[in-house]
Amino acid sequence: MKPGFSRLPMLLLALGLTHCGMSSGDREEPSSGVATEADEALASVDCVPATRVLETTRIRGPEGMVAVGDRLFFIVVNPTTGWSLWKSDGTRAGTVRVKTIAPITAPAGPRALTEAGGLLFFSSNGVLWRSNGTASGTHPVDVPQLTNAFPRREYRGRLLVIRPVPGRGDELWLTDGTRSGSHRILGAPPALAINVFSSGIVETESGDLVFTAETLADPGTSRLFRLPRSGALVELFRASASGIGIGQLTAVGDRVFFFTDELSPGEPSHLWSSDGTPGSAVLLRNFGLIAPPFGLTSFDGRLFFTAGAEDGPRGFEPWVSDGTPSGTHPFVDIRPGEAVGSLPTNMTVLGDQLYFVADDGVHGREPWVTDGTVAGTRLLIDIQPGAPSSFPYGLAAANGKLYFAADDGVHGTEPWKVFEDRPRLVADIVPGSGSAPIEPGVGPFDAPAASFVRAGGFVFFLTASGETPDNALWSIKTGSYCPPR
């Protein structure tokens, strides 16, 4: 596939810790009815709404961090201890190493951390592991057929994995990590080479799997398949020639949108839509001689994404599609007449609203929101007033709130959140105008992704530093508030 956008630039500055106050109108629901020591600390006059729970050499993430129940699981890379699995309950005392998985000399440590059925699964150096959060309960799965399987996603309450079989292509299995709880749901024939990337397999509203693959009999020709619960594999679409990739699969209800891309420079991307029946794929629009569209997001029963028009004076703006050619068009022109456009990023759904970051040419790059209508699309807040940008990034929905990093021009880049349509600074981690170097998340095609991950009653994020330690894991209690001063 063609390369996508690189992540947004950000400054990496020194770490620090301070507190901030909120008005009495900022009170939120408690996360539970039981008062804990942490709750009392958050309600004290020295309220510190962000806690540094771990400092270490290197933490993989934030796209590598995953919640299982009320715990966050993540990977720490240390020259002495090697590749280790850690977990956190949001407190320093509750942030502990679960188990060392591989020595530092291992070519590839744990990756593809995936929650399924209340358990954690991951792959490490070609071996599939499972963990219940304890050292003794963290081990390679005891299923001989799945030794080299690759975890993909939760499906029907179990882990969906891709199992390569030499000479026979790839199989799809469901597993709970035990022999009795593992079974194959797809195998040869036909002999397939299945796309292992996250954008190459989706689940529809009805619970069917749609994925991309090539057949061993016809390598180089990408195909789109649907696997219903009945297990009868259906081919939905076939690329017109070898060397054309199919990617960015996105399910909107039972309809699946996808792009086809020629792997040579200067060729456009083609947006398609399929209702899940053979021969139903419809070409919706050609895009991307400059760069391919990105940020495909299901919202309000339609597909929203960022794209640049090739046939008019419009740069990168929000687009929308209902699955028909006539219903695929620019959604709103936030920055008219500009070659670059408003460049929307970080499209994130929270309840019945879609949030994103854009630049209208007047207020700089700031958070925007839409209810799915043009009239309901607006600047959420001008965090750094006037033309300067607050450069929000890392948007993530958690516990009815939207979290992101932004710079208000006074406190530097720090964590923010939106609750009941009211944005507010959460913490001033680096005092004064210094910025907290919150790590940006990176999604498919290097598009911006979430920097915040929720687990239980906490939201976690990472900061980086040029000094030792060069990584810190932080937690914010989602239901906390600081009393007025």
Q: pTM for the whole thing?
A: 0.86
Residues 6 or more apart whose CB falls under 8 angstroms from that of 423 comprise 367, 380, 381, 383, 416, 417
CA distances from 393 to 65, 97, 368 (A): 17, 29, 12
The domain 24-477 having CATH identifier 1.10.3210: the answer here is: no
The residues near 444 (Cβ < 8 Å, ≥ 6 apart) are 4, 197, 198, 199, 247, 248, 294
**pLDDT interval class at 181 (50, 70, 90):** very high
Q: How confident is the model at residue 290, as a pLDDT?
A: 64
Mean pLDDT in residue range 353-358: 97
User: Where are the chain's structural domains?
Assistant: 24-477
Q: What is the mean pLDDT of the chain?
A: 85
How many helices and strands, by DSSP H and E, does the chain display?
1, 40
27 to 217, 455, 478, 482: CA distances (angstroms): 62, 21, 11, 8
**pLDDT at residue 49, as a whole number:** 72
The pLDDT of residue 262 is: 74
Q: What is the pLDDT of residues 286-306, one digit of tens each?
A: 886 667 789 999 999 999 999
> Tens digits of per-residue pLDDT, 229-274?
888 999 999 998 888 889 899 999 999 999 998 766 667 789 999 9
Residues near 167 by Cβ (< 8 Å), separated by ≥ 6?
none
pLDDT of 30 reads 33
Q: What is the pLDDT of residues 389-403, one digit of tens each?
A: 999 999 999 989 999
Over the stretch 423-436, which tens digit does the pLDDT of each residue have? 888 888 888 888 88
pLDDT at 10: 28
Contacts for 429 with CB less than 8 Å, ≥ 6 apart: 15, 16, 17, 18, 50, 414, 415, 436, 463, 474
Q: What is the pLDDT of residues 438-455, one digit of tens each?
A: 999 887 666 778 999 999
Taking residues 363-372, report their average pLDDT. Answer: 97
pLDDT value for 266: 62
